[in-house]
Chains A and B, each alone.
Chain A
Amino acid sequence: MITLLLMTHMMTSSGPLATVEGAVDSTIPKVAREADYYQAVNIPVPAGIVLEVGGLAVGPGPGEVYASTRRGDIWKIEDAYGQAPRFTLFSDGLQEPLGLLWKDQWLHCVQRGELSRLRDEDGDGRADVLETLCDDWTISGNYHEYAFGPRLDKDGNFWLTLNRPFGDEPFGKMDWRGWAMRIGDDGKMVPMAGGLRSPAGLEIAPWGDVFYTDNQGEWCGTNKLCHIEEGDYFGHTWGVESAKLPGSRMEYPGKTPDGLTYVEAKKKIPDLKLPAIWFPYNKMGKSAAGMLWDTTGGDFGPFQDQLFVADQHHASVMRVDLEQVDGVWQGAAMRFREGLSCGALRLAWGDDNVMLIGQTSRGWGSVGKKSEGLEYLRWTGEMPCEILTCRSTHDGYTISFTKPMVRSTLENTASYRLENYTYKLHSPYGSPEVDRAKVTIEAAVAAADGKSVTLKLMGPGAMRIGYVTEMILDGVRSTDGQALLHKEVYATLNVVP
């Protein structure tokens, strides 16, 4: 399978493969770099176009990509993967459009104040009609009143998330800020869940569940990935009064206690939803944003069915392996690819299953060489030495790898450093990692093929609900002599199997 893929890529690209082959032939283990496995390519943008990507959608034609910009334009990009992509101004005049979606020959777009759909009726590459599908929420004219989405659930409903404002609200304080919305065929908005802070990513899992990413700040201990169900409360207090309005599917949660850990707070507010994944601050980005499930069936490498999460600040893409225990989602987060040109906001699968990454740093800040742009990652075909999955057991974790590992390194408990900690739900900006404790491995048992290890952890403190277990696999080595490309994994535990 891998060989086949390698051949496919050999036909479509030349430069990077020389490196790949050299590495394969080499018998001396070299220092692995992310770029050896996932090559980043910038899509050239003509002078005069400021492509601050807010939304990204792959069009129906080959090489066709649509990018909405924070300035309010939508660009149709043709021959996106060629030497000289063609840019056509599909639409202008939109308000900070931060999400795009194709459905039924219409390009759907969420603006600050409305869910719209656009269509090019005469085939000149320009939208001729914009229909407002829903504008049941309102904006006050505050810069932080962003809206994210739209995403389509398995029943054909649209979902949106609405950011909370910061600072002046020149036209008054508006309802429904910090809410997740479902919009039906009739264009009517159903407020499904509240307490969101800055929900920059929204995605529907292939099996239909709705997930969103949120950004650290007041009432949000660190960046997180949450599963949204009707009536959930995510802990941010700013917009909860809207729960008293007609149509709310969330019960008014009452006063949120300030300063308890999330687990303790949940005992007082049953509707408080714990995140499926905590992204420890700075270790796993600083601004979680767009998401993308690996539905490439292996074309993009070994991480099929896993979730990629863009990080705007770190100009990076992270990776999440989810598991469901007793109906509750939890899982492990890992680094995947850093060093992109600019803050990564939106992800999409492009032609040949490259990962398109829409980027912008303006006003939000990010590492990277550029201020905005569009880049894509292409798997070079070489297998990185990575943690593949990390799943909880009744007394520890089973970690699998992309390559066979040396069993003795897997079974040596000195190969690992483990700690766990959790976060506070409180009004100050972000939470430190609190209630931190070392975790001891009682036994590490490797599988016969060396492709997984089961860690049995010591004592009841090892498997604490609502805590993150940080595992650093310093000492494990692959049978071809490689250390892990990323040796850290952060597992969030909500239910012990």
Chain B
Amino acid sequence: MFSRKPNYLLMTLVLLFSGSGQVHSQDEGYESAIRAVRDGACLQCHEAEGEWSNWLRSVPPPLLDGAGLRLRPDWLIDWIFDPAADEPGTRMPHALAALPEDQRREVATNISHFLIARDLGPGDWSPVQFNSADVDVGKRLFDTIGCAACHDGSALSARMARRTTKTALAEELQQSHAIHRSGRMPQIVMEPTEAAAIATYLIRDQATDANGDPFIDVIPGLRYEAYLGTFANCEEIIEGELVSSGYAEKISVDPKPRQDNFGLRFVGEFLVSRAGQYQFSLRSDDGSKLWIDGVLVVDNGGVHGPTTKTGSMELTSGWHGVDARVFEHGGGESIIVRWSGPGIDQEREFKPAELRTRSSVALPVEPPFQLEPGSIIRGGQAYSTYGCNACHEPKATPIQKPWNQLRAAPVGCLSTDPPIGSPAYNFDDEMTQQLISLIKSDPFEVALEPGAHAELLIDDAGCTSCHQRNGRGGPNAEKNKTFLGTAELGDEGRLPPLLTGVGTKLKYDVLHQTIAEGLKVRPYVVSRMPSYPAALAEEVTRAIFAGDNEPPSEPLVTAFSIESRKVGHQLTGTDGFRCIDCHKFAGHDSLGEPAYDLAVMGARLQPRWFHEYMMDPQSKRPDTRMPTFWFDDVSLFPDLLGGDSDAQVSALWTYLAAGSAAPFPKGLIINRSDFDLLPTAEEPTMVGVFMRGLSGRVVAVGYPDRISIAYDMENVRLGKAWRGDFINVKGTWVGRAGSLESPAGTDVIDFAPGLPVAIIEQRDSKWPDDPVRDQGWRYRGHRRDAERRPVFRISGPGGVEMTEVVVPLVAADGIHLRRFFRFEGKTMPRNLAMRFARSKQISAAGDDAWITREGMTLAVRGLSAAVVEVDGMMELRGSVTRAGAEIEVEVRW
């Protein structure tokens, strides 16, 4: 519950330590006093200089912009009247403590009028209808994604129902950094619908009837909402234009607002008569999804014709929330949801009696709020008189005594009876004494060691609410149960990862990104890593690194070799340690358990940690299910790299360092029904497409080494090459298709347009640009070589035939390619020449090697190549003089 603890911490200690390297004293009293000063924002009034200004810097107070619209007027008045009464332990001091109670109420009211008027309020407090299914979804999210790790759901919802509205709270949940600049309320990454559901759950108490009981309206059927828009997935639907809504007794496309480009959502509850396992089938055109109690049970997404997908879920008897969505691009449209299970032997649709919607009406808790001009003016004056503007915008210049002139005595704000204009903090005696000591002290007396500092920062950022570190923290027994995940991986599949030694495990940027962006690599863990304000993320990362790497160890450097990478590749797959039995690879499912993706490890982990973890996983995580592969340093594969364990771990690292650009491990199952087409681990994948920039007759080839080419059969030439992902063929495989496709990967290079080979009069004659067919060159097909790489064949004038095969070239700096040409015709025409590159500038780059202005390096073997200049362009050409000639061109880029 870190939002309630006044315990913020020092953001800049590490800077100071790393600068001086001499400070080591430690004092628990100073520590909590410093926190109190920072939390209490003392320096907002009492300016400090030098080290103190950094050490005691105030935690950023909440931004009040929009507060007049976000917060209910009644609540706002109560809050200013006495903050601790609403939220015990709040950081907000009691600014009006010195006033008599009736006057205090009036001033609080005036300040509220001022804030509301400043935001051009009052806000819209009219009744909001919400669906009770959202309450259940919201509760499930609240309990599982991480909110409950810090908050008590029932206490919080009692406050939120008085404090705000569903819409405002949903917005606040999605931009908490903007309002709560302290980082005390980190931002959990969530969809707008999820934020709305959590907000609905938290303000559900607003919907009460005259007796204070929940005001629930039960309507038969499901509520439907019809949206206009061109959708590609079901999540987007609710971002479209809502054009109609109502209640329907069955899920169908009947409420469709038009023929094409619309989305429908059905939401409500369905009745389960008998507990047990239920199967759901979802048939639709185009995509659809079915959520039950907020869990995605059937995913029939994507643009497609009538297609059926199924899923199942264990359900208790009683009502369960349902959310079914379908969207329609063009053509026919349909959605049918069927279910079967205990008591429903024959799959069928829901009966009308099995469907209902419970709606609640959120009633305003106060009569419409009327702004009083006099109150606004008096409120504006009070805003500065009582020092609100010392912390909140618009800020005033501090006018109180500077820090170093403060009296070390229980007076002013530290007094139990502060004067008017001084806020009351109500510190206990012990804290008051500590603060007095702090005021007397010298800044260098209060330093912490790096390790202790890291612990402090971690505690104060709330990390230990969810994570364990050095045997401390982690959820307590009761909270522990709210962390859900996959049972197959034990607690590792459920609890957030250990933070013990995380500064030696993750790369600095990755740790920073994880904290700043809420990065998450374990999709099976249901709770979500929140994100923190950038400055705080930076401080925490720096503190963890300083703490964990003391004393620093030498970075482990692994030398690249092709042999090592090959071994790493083998060890990862089914001919090796079978890492893919448990781990995903580049988004592809493992063969068994869903442990986290191998292809992201190279970019995330520090090599030394990886090495130590591989040799002894339990040393890093005692309860891990990760096996050990070397016993007494003896490898399961004594033939690979001499069986040397260090060399084998290095090999794995070398291979994994290539990330998702690495060739797939052997045995990984590549689903050929995916539109993101991928080569298998064993052989190249080929697909015929229309390709932008080439022709309508192109075959794209994706090699296992994660390099791809496009061969233009119409123009008998290699057209493009690229690295990384192969190609997305949705435009060729969906509907009537016929899209011009493009490479999916990166580093796309275009080879010289025109024929690769031609008959020219002079070595520097203009390269012929007549249509390929008119010059007598034609595509003749291909042969698959031993590795099933295509060897393309073309024929030309006079019976000449040329083959070309592209072979990936694995090098330390990544993957390149080699083109092998062979002339196979019995006869060779005279003046036959090849052209390898065309550019504004081609320069020599060593023996028989050249580099183009575009950065393509070519090394030519098997013929004598030279640069010629034609029409202001430079071309790399060579003559082919004999039948059987074999030419190799190494292309690096």
Distance from A20 Cβ to chain B, minimum over Cβ atoms (Å) = 26
Contact of B781 among A96, A131, A167, A369 (CB under 8 A): A131
Residue of A nearest to B794 (CB): A132
Residue B783 CB within 8 A of the other chain: yes
Q: Which 6 residue pairs spanning A and B have beta carbons closest together?
A: A143-B738, A93-B686, A141-B696, A95-B688, A363-B736, A141-B690
- Residues of B within 8 Å of A50, CB to CB, are 672-673, 733
Residue of B nearest to A360 (CB): B305
B706-762 contacts to A (CB < 8 Å)? 713-714, 729, 732-738, 740
Whether B688 pairs with A363 at a CB distance below 8 angstroms is: no
Whether A129 pairs with B784 at a CB distance below 8 angstroms is: yes
- Residues of A within 8 Å of B696, CB to CB, are 112-113, 139-142, 145, 170-171
Residue of B nearest to A142 (CB): B738
Residue A86 CB within 8 A of the other chain: no
Residue of B nearest to A131 (CB): B781
A161-189 contacts to B (CB < 8 Å)? 167, 170-171
Residue B685 CB within 8 A of the other chain: yes
- Residues of A within 8 Å of B782, CB to CB, are 129-130
Measured CA separation A199–B462 after assembly (Å): 69
Measured CA separation A128–B781 after assembly (Å): 11
Whether A363 pairs with B305 at a CB distance below 8 angstroms is: yes
A405-452 contacts to B (CB < 8 Å)? none
Residue of A nearest to B736 (CB): A363
Q: Can you list 11 residue pairs at the A/B interface with Cβ under 8 Å? A: A48-B673, A72-B732, A73-B672, A113-B697, A116-B781, A135-B713, A140-B696, A145-B696, A170-B690, A171-B695, A371-B306
- Residues of A within 8 Å of B784, CB to CB, are 126-129
- Residues of B within 8 Å of A96, CB to CB, are 688
Distance from B120 Cβ to chain A, minimum over Cβ atoms (Å) = 51
- Residues of A within 8 Å of B669, CB to CB, are 48
Whether B778 pairs with A111 at a CB distance below 8 angstroms is: no
Distance from B379 Cβ to chain A, minimum over Cβ atoms (Å) = 65
Residue A94 CB within 8 A of the other chain: yes
Whether B697 pairs with A139 at a CB distance below 8 angstroms is: yes
A45-97 contacts to B (CB < 8 Å)? 48-50, 71-73, 92-96
- Residues of B within 8 Å of A135, CB to CB, are 713, 778-779
Residue B699 CB within 8 A of the other chain: yes
Whether A143 pairs with B740 at a CB distance below 8 angstroms is: no
Whether A365 pairs with B332 at a CB distance below 8 angstroms is: yes
Residue A144 CB within 8 A of the other chain: yes
Residue A207 CB within 8 A of the other chain: no
A108-146 contacts to B (CB < 8 Å)? 111-114, 116, 126-132, 135, 138-145
Measured CA separation A341–B779 after assembly (Å): 39
Measured CA separation A33–B604 after assembly (Å): 64
Distance from B404 Cβ to chain A, minimum over Cβ atoms (Å) = 73
Encoded as 1 (CB less than 8 Å from any A CB) or 0, chain B from 670 to 687 comes to 011100000000000111
Measured CA separation A201–B447 after assembly (Å): 86
Whether A126 pairs with B306 at a CB distance below 8 angstroms is: no
Whether B672 pairs with A49 at a CB distance below 8 angstroms is: yes
Residue B440 CB within 8 A of the other chain: no
Contact of A132 among B701, B734, B780, B788 (CB under 8 A): B780
Whether A93 pairs with B781 at a CB distance below 8 angstroms is: no
Whether A93 pairs with B790 at a CB distance below 8 angstroms is: yes
- Residues of A within 8 Å of B735, CB to CB, are 362-363
Residue B174 CB within 8 A of the other chain: no
Measured CA separation A208–B689 after assembly (Å): 35
Residue A215 CB within 8 A of the other chain: no
Residue B500 CB within 8 A of the other chain: no
Whether B779 pairs with A132 at a CB distance below 8 angstroms is: yes
Whether B783 pairs with A141 at a CB distance below 8 angstroms is: no
Contact of B671 among A48, A111, A363, A365 (CB under 8 A): A48
- Residues of A within 8 Å of B687, CB to CB, are 71-72, 92-93
Contact of A138 among B305, B714, B781 (CB under 8 A): B714
Residue A389 CB within 8 A of the other chain: no
Whether A94 pairs with B688 at a CB distance below 8 angstroms is: yes
- Residues of B within 8 Å of A365, CB to CB, are 305, 331-332
Whether B713 pairs with A361 at a CB distance below 8 angstroms is: no
Measured CA separation A171–B712 after assembly (Å): 13
Residue B304 CB within 8 A of the other chain: yes
Measured CA separation A111–B714 after assembly (Å): 13
- Residues of B within 8 Å of A171, CB to CB, are 695-696
- Residues of B within 8 Å of A138, CB to CB, are 714
Distance from A184 Cβ to chain B, minimum over Cβ atoms (Å) = 16
Given A71-B733, A371-B305, output 20 extra A-B contacts at Cβ < 8 Å: A49-B672, A71-B729, A72-B732, A73-B672, A92-B686, A93-B686, A93-B790, A96-B688, A113-B713, A126-B784, A132-B778, A135-B778, A139-B696, A140-B696, A141-B690, A167-B738, A170-B740, A362-B305, A362-B735, A363-B305
Measured CA separation A130–B305 after assembly (Å): 33
B786-800 contacts to A (CB < 8 Å)? 788, 790
Whether B697 pairs with A112 at a CB distance below 8 angstroms is: yes
- Residues of B within 8 Å of A111, CB to CB, are 688
Residue B307 CB within 8 A of the other chain: yes
Encoded as 1 (CB less than 8 Å from any A CB) or 0, chain B from 637 to 678 comes to 000000000000000000000000000000001011100000
Measured CA separation A363–B732 after assembly (Å): 11
Distance from B249 Cβ to chain A, minimum over Cβ atoms (Å) = 25
Given the interface contacts A94-B688, A113-B713, does A144 sit within 8 Å of B307 by beta carbon? no
Whether A92 pairs with B737 at a CB distance below 8 angstroms is: no
- Residues of A within 8 Å of B714, CB to CB, are 113, 138-139
Whether B673 pairs with A49 at a CB distance below 8 angstroms is: yes
Residue of B nearest to A117 (CB): B781
Distance from B578 Cβ to chain A, minimum over Cβ atoms (Å) = 21
Measured CA separation A118–B307 after assembly (Å): 33
Given the interface contacts A49-B673, A139-B697, A143-B736, does A126 sit within 8 Å of B305 by beta carbon? no
Distance from A474 Cβ to chain B, minimum over Cβ atoms (Å) = 33
- Residues of B within 8 Å of A94, CB to CB, are 688
Measured CA separation A129–B729 after assembly (Å): 24
Encoded as 1 (CB less than 8 Å from any A CB) or 0, chain B from 594 to 633 comes to 0000000000000000000000000000000000000000
- Residues of A within 8 Å of B779, CB to CB, are 114, 132, 135
- Residues of A within 8 Å of B331, CB to CB, are 365
Measured CA separation A113–B713 after assembly (Å): 9
- Residues of B within 8 Å of A95, CB to CB, are 688-689, 697, 699
Residue of B nearest to A169 (CB): B696
